[in-house]
Structure 1
């Protein structure tokens, strides 16, 4: 990692491993937005290095052998109705639950953020742990915080249950979570 003139640690350089969840590494993209190059895993397109969509798609390909269609922005994942099984080539339905749903999120589902002032393309993360009794979820992600993970997740978000509805709280607007059963 580089250092600034004031001896303060700067953001990791492009391609630095930030952390890993289920052996899927997340990389620093040094805040490069678009022209970071396309990435592939096992001949399957994952997205632009190292954006949030690229991590989520690569996670699904490596751990579940599934993928989703090419999309323009992260928040467009919410518009999808199917994912694809890479072994059979067949599409299968996904389930979507809005933030504030009666159904809580579960491990390995995708957390979808809406577009907003600081995130014009939205955002997507993988939920790595759900602990309803302690009121938190942990997430793995790329292109949000450019910091080395201390454990197998990037951030911990709070989840509350109000009138039976589960609401995940973050500084950015969350649409909801996508569950895939293949």
Structure 2
């Protein structure tokens, strides 16, 4: 649901999440020579990634909204297996602070009650959604942020709205999300359907914010 349309020029703002995080087009064929020298993205002095890839948006959203980020990864899907996220060090020399994460595999029930009392495996706002490296997201996988959650009246399940980059590079058409995906419940497990060719969701990671 959602998405599509003509590609915007590289770097153009294509949409803004409900939390105020702007997404940009990564349509590399429209890059100008001046863009090549400025490919690194930063938020408050902290590195977010290469403009305007999916990992860059995920880091920037987490930093802007929660002051949290994650370690360097080679491919987007590797975020799922990171042992923790962290709060960056401060400008006055303060050390980075680890942030615990919870992982939920798509279509699989949680193995145990979470120690902080959170037993809900359903995707929540702020969850970091990951895709397997296959189909539309071959080799790299993909990462997006869940920016809103609502009821799906057709299936009695949920819909999640995504903030993301480097998928269609098209305008969000005034909506506060790039596209919506359906979430179905299977007992204690939840599964997310992505209609993009061959795309398969790996799961979602939830930073435990104190």
Corresponding position of 1:11? 7
Is the CA contact 1:31–1:143 (under 8 Å) kept in the aligned structure 2?
no
Q: Does 1:142 align with 2:161?
A: no
User: Structure 1: 5+ residue runs without aligned partners?
Assistant: 1-8
Listed as ranges, the matches of 1:100-119 within 5 Å are: 100-102=107-109, 103-119=121-137
Q: Among 170, 193, 197, which residue is 1:169 paired with?
A: 193
Q: CA deviation at 1:31?
A: 4.3
Q: Among 47, 50, 57, which residue is 1:48 paired with?
A: 50
Helix, strand or coil at the partner of 2:65: helix
More strand by share: 1
Is the CA contact 1:77–1:112 (under 8 Å) kept in the aligned structure 2?
yes
Corresponding position of 2:21? 24
Measured on the aligned residues, the alpha-carbon RMSD in Å equals 1.8
Q: CA deviation at 1:124?
A: 0.3
Larger CA deviation: 95-104 vs 19-28: 95-104
Q: CA deviation at 1:30?
A: 0.4
* Deviation digits for residues 143-181 of structure 1 (CA, Å, limit 9, x no counterpart): 002111131100010111123321010031111000011
Helix, strand or coil at the partner of 1:45: strand
Q: Does 1:181 align with 2:181?
A: no
Corresponding position of 2:84? 82
Is the CA contact 1:73–1:122 (under 8 Å) kept in the aligned structure 2?
yes
In structure 1, how many angstroms separate the alpha carbons of the residues matched to 2:48 and 2:81? Answer: 18
Is the CA contact 1:94–1:179 (under 8 Å) kept in the aligned structure 2?
yes
Corresponding position of 2:105? 98
So what's the TM-score if we normalise by structure 1?
A: 0.88
Is the CA contact 2:7–2:168 (under 8 Å) kept in the aligned structure 1?
no
